[in-house]
Structure 1
Amino acid sequence: MLMKEANSHLTKTELAGIGNGEVAYIRKIRSEDVSRCFPEAPDIDPSVDLWALFGADGTPILLTDNRSSTFFKAAEDELKTVSLH
């Protein structure tokens, strides 16, 4: 893991690399954002609640309508999930 002095700043690239392959985040995603994050996904009914699992660097991993599936996939891939506020 990358370590910096307390008074230094991380670049966006350095920040994106922290936890890569070890950490993932789950977030609700709007149907209009699906094609940007998951270009191979078909058109989705806007009334469906969607959840996405992303790698620490923002790489899309999973799109689903079942939030629990994101946790199962993260566990399967040995990724720790974190909350974003």
Structure 2
Amino acid sequence: MTEHELATLGGGVVAYIKTLTADEASRMFPTIEGLPKGINLFSLHAADGTPLALTDTRQAAIGHAIDDDLEIASVH
């Protein structure tokens, strides 16, 4: 499998959720201002790593995935 094929695998169908610090979230989502320091946030990403949503709970990130008909993959 080529690097490009791997990057597009699951495109539009599969997503994953990542836990971020407020600092990491600020870098990944630069248009969002005023994130409180010292909390964990949850980002929903497309299979290729594109950030789709930022939430304050894992359940909300799961809800975004369900609303967008995305299957959540476990990433280790």
TM-score normalized with structure 2 length:
0.89
1:20 lines up with 2:17 in the alignment = no
Q: Deviations over 1:29-52 (max 9, x none)?
A: 122211332121113222222001
1:60 lines up with 2:46 in the alignment = no
| Rounded Cα–Cα distance in structure 1 between residues aligned with 2:2 and 2:34 | 35
CA root-mean-square deviation:
1.2
| Rounded Cα–Cα distance in structure 2 between residues aligned with 1:15 and 1:35 | 27
| Rounded Cα–Cα distance in structure 2 between residues aligned with 1:78 and 1:48 | 28
Partner of 1:4: none
Partner of 1:70: 61
1:44 lines up with 2:35 in the alignment = yes
Structure 1 runs of 4+ off > 6 angstroms? Answer: none
| Rounded Cα–Cα distance in structure 2 between residues aligned with 1:81 and 1:46 | 27
- Greater per-residue strand proportion: 2
Q: Which runs of 5+ in 1 are unaligned?
A: 1-9
| Rounded Cα–Cα distance in structure 1 between residues aligned with 2:17 and 2:36 | 20
Contact 2:21 2:38 in 1 (8 A): no
> How many residue pairs align between the two structures?
76
Aligned-pair identity in percent equals: 39
| Rounded Cα–Cα distance in structure 2 between residues aligned with 1:31 and 1:13 | 31
